[in-house]
Amino acid sequence: QVQLVESGGGLVQPGGSLRLSCAASGSIYKFSIMGWYRQAPGMQRELVATIIRGGRTDYADSVKGRFTISRDNAKNTLSLQMNSLKPDDTAVYFCNAGGSISGYWGQGTQVTVSS
């Protein structure tokens, strides 16, 4: 069992940046895949970015070139650097460890992009 706690969300103007962090209560090294997902009001949860243990990353087309996912296995943290934010990025962002089917989820952190 592992608990995930996200932080770093907030209100930012279009074009701004935020850095989300996810702290795990235990070792994340055992999880071959970790990721960030988001859910906007009235929408289904969608994949934002994933990273595997070896460091390979994958991104949704909508965030490529703007977002960067990273993991620190020594500190048991997952991060998401978000640049050039758009109003369409407004959502609750969730940290995931172990995949979307049977993995673990954090409680989410709200990101609002608005002028």
Tens-of-pLDDT digits for all 115 residues of the chain?
899 999 999 999 999 999 999 999 988 899 999 999 999 999 999 999 999 988 899 999 999 999 999 999 999 999 999 999 999 999 999 999 999 888 999 999 999 999 9
Give the pLDDT confidence score for residue 49 in this predicted structure: 98
Rounded CA gap, 115 and 12, in Å? 8
Give the pLDDT confidence score for residue 101 in this predicted structure: 87
Rounded to the nearest 5 degrees, what angle is found at the Cα of 20, between the Cα atoms of 67 and 33?
Answer: 70
Give the pLDDT confidence score for residue 20 in this predicted structure: 98
Give the pLDDT confidence score for residue 91 in this predicted structure: 98
Give the pLDDT confidence score for residue 57 in this predicted structure: 98
Give the pLDDT confidence score for residue 84 in this predicted structure: 98
Give the pLDDT confidence score for residue 94 in this predicted structure: 98
Rounded CA gap, 91 and 86, in Å? 11
In 3D, which of 43, 40, 48 has the Cα closest to residue 100?
A: 48
